[in-house]
Amino acid sequence: MNDLQAGLSAPRAPLQQRGQARFELVLEEARKLLIEQGMAGFSIPVLAERLGFTRASIYNFFPTPYAVLNELARRELQDMEQRLVALPAAHPPMSWTEQVRLTVDTAARFHNERPVARLLILGGAQTDESYRAQAMTIDHLGSLSQRLFADAGILLPREPVDVMVLAVDLGTTCFRHSVLLHGHITDAYREEATRAMLRYLTPYVRQLLLARRRG
C-alpha cells in the first residue's frame, strides 16, 4: 500500500502514545471536514482551528495537506482491498466474468458507503501531485486485480501494456462519471463499468484460454 505515497507527501508516524493519539485525532477531524466541505474547504489551518491545535503541532506529523489526504486514501484503499481479497473465499467457485462482476459490485458498494473514499479515490485530479496519486491508486488496484485473476489461473499480460490496470481504469472512469453527475455510483453506471471491463478483457482471456487448449 505504500505505492500511493511514493514521491508524494507522506506523514511522519509518531512514536509516542500521546503523539499517536493526536495523529488519529487529526485524521478523524480531516474526515469530518472533507465530508462537510469537500476538497475546497480542506486545509491544515482549518483543521488546526477546529481541533484547537497549533498549526505547527499538525505540521509536525503532516508536513503538507497531501500528507493528510494520502494517509486517509491509504486507509480507504486498505479497507477496500480487504473486501476484495475476501471475495474468492466467500463465493467459490467463480468464472472470470463472475469475478469481474462481483468485484465491480463490491467496489461500487464500498464507495457508496464511504464518502471520503469517493472523494479521494474517485475525485478528479486537480494538481500534478493529485494526478500522480490517482495514477498510483489505479496501478495499485490493477495489481490487486491481477493477483486475484492469477489465483484463478488467468495470467493477463503486463507488457507491452498492463491489461488489468487499463481495465480497472475503464471501470474507475465509469464510477468517477457517476459520482460527478449523481454524487454516488448508480446501478446504471455500475453495470456500465462491468460491461466496459468485460468487453476489454474478453479478447485477452479468450486468447489465453485458446493458447492453453492448444498447449
Confidence of residue 129 (pLDDT cuts 50, 70, 90): low
Mean pLDDT of 28-50: 95
Residue 126 has pLDDT above 70, yes or no: no
How much of the chain exceeds pLDDT 70, in percent?
91
My answer on whether omega of the bond before 160 falls inside 30° of 0, hence cis, is: yes
| Residues 87 and 144 sit within 8 Å (Cβ to Cβ) | no
Which three cell numbers mark 54? Answer: 497549533
Integer Cα distance of 121 and 17 in angstroms = 30
CB of 58 closer than 8 Å to CB of 44: yes
Which range is least confidently modeled, 15-19, 48-52, 73-77? 15-19
Is residue 4's pLDDT more than 80? no
The mean pLDDT of 26-55, rounded to a whole number, is 95
pLDDT at 123 over 50: yes
Q: Does residue 29 register a pLDDT over 50?
A: yes
Asked whether the beta carbons of 25 and 62 are under 8 A apart, the reply is: no
